[in-house]
Structures are given as structure tokens and as C-alpha cells.
Amino acid sequence: MTRRHLIKAGLAATGAALIAGDSDAGARPPVSAAMAPPPPPGAPSAGPSPSASASPSPSPMDALTRPVFTLSEYRKIVPGPAFPDNAVALTIDDGPHPAWTPQVLRLLERFGVPAMFCLIGNQVLGHEPVARDIVAAGHQVANHTWSHPASIANMPPDRVQQEIDRAQEKIHDTTGHTPAIFRSPGGAVSPAVFAAAAHSRMVPVNWSDDPRDWTRPGVQAITNRLLAARPGQILLCHDGGGDRSQTCTALKTVIPALQARGLQFVALGG
């Protein structure tokens, strides 16, 4: 069944609550793409802007001290209806990619699944139609920095803010939607990362089921890990950063299998 407009992109993050603890997620190597460093303050963003409207500059929110790992944690921070007891959320990182993203989109449409695509700014650059296709299909978009720096947790605050701001501007100008969720490269966090996300009114969201598909461990390894998903988890996959044929093949089995088990895919904003 075709499902369009599954979610309302541009979710407004209405308030935040402090939750204690440290992330145990490790950083991974950066995506092998054009990794141009962020421009100095005041420099224009690369590429033309297809949107006449400027990216909004919302007031900062309170910084968290720990990223979100599950649906229940997300709902404690972002008010809204309770997620179903059988819910899981699918997140797709490192795109958009001109070959793999369309394949993922077709799979999601085939099975009626909403997803959150965590977009890298310099991947949106040059692949603007693909980014717009994600939103047109009704999926969420999140900010995954401008250049996916694996060392973001060790970067000074001004560089972290530049990475986030430049991606935010590019995603907004391309899709017309302003992300309310931030996915740090490799899930790496630091006080500067939390502060920068809060300054842009974004909730930092990690994951609770990682098949490490970016390492290309084989279709069966990806499939087995994702099939171990439990209600309330946030699942991680990738559509960028390399050959994602294993991921696409695995999802063809995983999505209907999880649905057959009674799990319901939900949008984080839903």
C-alpha cells in the first residue's frame, strides 16, 4: 500500500528535559565524499539556494547531557501521543545518495514504512532532487552535520556549531523543512555537541539497534541484527557513504519480517 505524507516534517521540538548519563556510542570513520571544511563565520553556503525563504533562527533550548536512544526516551523530551507498545523507528544515515536513496525509498513505499533520513549537508549539495524526494514521500529529515566529521566530539564549539548550522541551512533551503532532530556522526557527543544542537533547537537522537551495515558485514549479518529488534527501539541503517547493496537487500527481508511479528514502524514525530 502506498503511503504518502506519513509524517509532518519540520517537527517543532517543544521543550526539553535533562536526563543524566554518558553515551557509549563510538565514532566511525567519516563518509568518503567531498569533505570540504565548514566556511569561516560569515561566509556564504556553497551552492545556490532554491528557496526564497531564509532558514529560521529559533531561540535556543536547554542542552541535554545524553542523547536519546529509545522511543520512550524521545517521548519524555518531546511531548506528544504515546508511541504504540509495538512500535519501532527506522533511521537512515549518510545520504542522500543518487543510487541507494531511491532504492530505499521504493522499499519504504512498498511496505508502507515511515523513516527518518539523517542528511549530510555536503551530500545534499549536488543531490538536491533526491533530498526533495525524501520529503515528498512523507519522510522526516534530520541534521547529520555538514561533512560528517568523526572527530566532532573533540572539535571546538565554534566548529561544531558551523557544522550544524551549515547543514541546517542547506537542508532547509533544499527541502523547505527545518530539522528538529540531530544525529551526531558515529553518535559521538560532547558538551559542545549538546550545546550546538540545543542552540538550533534540535534533540540529539542516537539508536538502540545498530547492524553496523556501513562496514558491509554481509547481508545475513545485517538481517540477523535487525531481526533482533524489540519494541521501543530506534533502528539504524545507511543509504550513503559507500556501497549499500547489502543494506537494501537486508531490508527487503527485515521490514516484512518485523511487520509479520507485529512490530509497527513509526515516525519519531508521530
Angle at alpha carbon of residue 167, lines to 239 and 20, rounded to 5°: 85
How is residue 1 written as a grid cell? Answer: 500500500
Name the catalytic one among 97, 139, 238, 239.
238
Catalytic (active site) residue 133: no
Write the DSSP symbol of residue 209: B
| Other Cβ atoms within 10 Å of 257 Cβ, number | 14
How is residue 182 written as a grid cell? Answer: 540531530
Contact 64, 16 (CB under 8 A): yes
Short-list 219, 225, 220, 232, CA closest to 265: 232
Q: Which residues contact 172 (CB under 8 A, 6 or more apart)?
A: 51, 55, 56, 178, 179
Instruction: Work out the angle between the directed axes of helices 128-136 and 157-175 (0-180°, nearest 10).
Output: 70
Cα–Cα distance measured from residue 136 to residue 122, given in angstroms and rounded to the nearest whole number = 20
How is residue 82 written as a grid cell? Answer: 504515546
Q: Fill in the amino acid letter for 165.
A: D
Q: Does an H or E element contain 77, and which?
A: helix 71-77
Cα–Cα distance measured from residue 235 to residue 26, given in angstroms and rounded to the nearest whole number = 16
Catalytic (active site) residue 238: yes
| Other Cβ atoms within 10 Å of 183 Cβ, number | 27
Q: Fill in the amino acid letter for 69.
A: F
Name the catalytic one among 93, 209, 213, 239.
93
Residues with a catalytic annotation lie at 93, 238
